[in-house]
């Protein structure tokens, strides 16, 4: 049975879902997206992702009048039609079919292109990488300066993931003006003397939905959090490091640019935060 996807109001087998060659998402990278995780057939962090989607749309003046209730219904319908138990739902909204290539936005009233599909990942919450920890390289942050908008312009993120793989490592951390901004597709943290340190929010990083919940859970567990800049050298000298994202939850980082962080194994703070995050977000899933 082929996967059933959502395209502009219709549920279709994936082979039958197609988008115009003039679509702004295809020609201009003019589209925004969200990724939500599904555990036990339920959606994690739904409200946060839809709120950020609406913010991304409004920053780019893309009109899409789907309500949060309708988004929820689409997500649930896709979960049911694809028997999705553990995995992700990818959602993308582009500025739509402009009818030709043009730098100017198409006229107001041009309908956006709305695509959602499921990605089944049995064992997502039990990723063996979380027990071993992952390794990262640092790379210059050459992305544009509106990283707070979740656009589909992910070519540089793909390039640095490939560079990491070529170097025999798992992922890359971006560095700008001497300080770590974020990971290629995640927000990053270090731990020193029990304190969790992560870069403060600005247009320089994506405002992670997992990050917001993690900082809330850390505060509720009486862990100290400091939002400030840090360097690669500070990360290498930290007791622990980790990253967060919707699809990886909390992932320990055990090596930065060839230097082991702390013991070189996942540390107690990252391990505990992963447990808390999974437990709390499963409880709150809808």
Please give the positions annotated as active site: 150
Q: Do 184 and 160 contact (CB within 8 A), yes or no?
A: yes
The two tokens of residue 141 are 């942050």
* Residue 1 CB, nearest approach to ligand PDD (Å): 25
- Indicate whether 182 belongs to the interface with ligand PDD (CB under 6 A): yes
- The distance in angstroms from the start CA to the end CA of the chain is 26
- Indicate whether 164 belongs to the interface with ligand PDD (CB under 6 A): no
Q: What is the DSSP string of 208-248?
A: -HHHHHHHHHHHHTT--EEE----HHHHHTSSEEEEEETTT
- Indicate whether 281 belongs to the interface with ligand PDD (CB under 6 A): no
- One residue of 151, 244, 271, 281 binding ligand PDD per CB under 6 A: 244
The span of 102-110, 220-228, 239-247, 275-283 binding ligand PDD (CB under 6 A) equals 239-247
The two tokens of residue 222 are 């009486």
User: Which residues, including other chains, have CB under 8 Å from residue 194's CB and lie 6 or more apart?
Assistant: 223, 224, 269
Q: Do 187 and 244 contact (CB within 8 A), yes or no?
A: yes
- Indicate whether 135 belongs to the interface with ligand PDD (CB under 6 A): no
The span of 79-87, 191-199, 245-253, 266-274 binding ligand PDD (CB under 6 A) equals 245-253
For residues 182 and 255, which CB has a smaller minimum distance to ligand PDD in the complex?
182
Per residue in 190-215, is it b (16+ CB within 10 Å) or e — as a string? Answer: bbbeeebbbbeeeebbbbbbbbbbbb
- Indicate whether 138 belongs to the interface with ligand PDD (CB under 6 A): no
- In the stretch 196-235, what mask flags binding to ligand PDD with x, by CB under 6 A? ----------x-xxxx------------------------
- One residue of 185, 198, 236, 271 binding ligand PDD per CB under 6 A: 185
For residues 98 and 141, which CB has a smaller minimum distance to ligand PDD in the complex?
141
- Indicate whether 113 belongs to the interface with ligand PDD (CB under 6 A): no
CA distances from 124 to 114, 121, 279 (A): 26, 5, 14
- Indicate whether 91 belongs to the interface with ligand PDD (CB under 6 A): no
* Residue 227 CB, nearest approach to ligand PDD (Å): 15
- Indicate whether 94 belongs to the interface with ligand PDD (CB under 6 A): no
Nearest Cα residue to 37 out of 5, 69, 3, 79: 79
Q: Do 240 and 262 contact (CB within 8 A), yes or no?
A: yes
CA distances from 24 to 17, 21, 28, 91, 150 (A): 17, 9, 5, 16, 16
The two tokens of residue 138 are 């640092």
For residues 140 and 194, which CB has a smaller minimum distance to ligand PDD in the complex?
140
- One residue of 247, 256, 271, 277 binding ligand PDD per CB under 6 A: 247
- Indicate whether 171 belongs to the interface with ligand PDD (CB under 6 A): no
- In the stretch 17-56, what mask flags binding to ligand PDD with x, by CB under 6 A? ------------------x---------------------
* Residue 100 CB, nearest approach to ligand PDD (Å): 30
Chain positions contacting ligand PDD, by CB under 6 A: 35, 182, 185-187, 206, 208-211, 244-247
């Amino acid at each position: 049975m082929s996967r059933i996807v959502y395209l502009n109001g219709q549920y279709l087998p994936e082979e039958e879902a197609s988008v115009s060659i003039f679509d702004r998402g295809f020609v201009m990278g003019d589209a925004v997206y969200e990724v939500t995780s599904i555990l036990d057939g339920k959606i994690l962090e739904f409200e946060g992702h839809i709120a950020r989607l609406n913010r991304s749309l409004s920053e780019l003046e893309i009109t899409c009048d789907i309500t949060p209730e309708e988004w929820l219904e689409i997500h649930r319908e896709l979960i049911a039609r694809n028997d999705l138990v553990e995995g992700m739902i990818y959602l993308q909204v582009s500025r739509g079919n402009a009818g030709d290539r043009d730098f100017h936005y198409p006229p107001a009233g041009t309908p956006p292109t709305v695509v959602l599909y499921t990605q089944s990942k049995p064992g997502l919450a039990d990723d063996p990488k979380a027990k071993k920890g992952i390794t990262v390289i640092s790379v210059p942050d050459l992305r544009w300066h509106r990283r707070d908008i979740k656009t589909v312009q992910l070519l540089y993120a793909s390039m640095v993931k490939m560079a990491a793989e070529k170097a025999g490592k798992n992922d890359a951390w971006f560095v700008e003006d001497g300080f770590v901004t974020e990971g290629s597709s995640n927000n990053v943290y270090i731990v020193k003397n029990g304190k969790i340190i992560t870069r403060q929010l600005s247009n320089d990083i994506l405002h992670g939905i997992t990050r917001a919940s993690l900082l809330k859970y850390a505060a509720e567990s009486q862990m100290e959090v400091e939002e400030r800049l840090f360097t690669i050298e500070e990360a290498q000298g930290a007791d622990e490091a980790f990253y967060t994202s919707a699809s990886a939850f909390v992932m320990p980082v055990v090596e930065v640019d060839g230097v082991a962080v702390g013991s070189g194994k996942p540390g107690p703070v990252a391990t505990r935060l992963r447990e808390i995050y999974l437990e709390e977000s499963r409880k709150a899933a809808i």
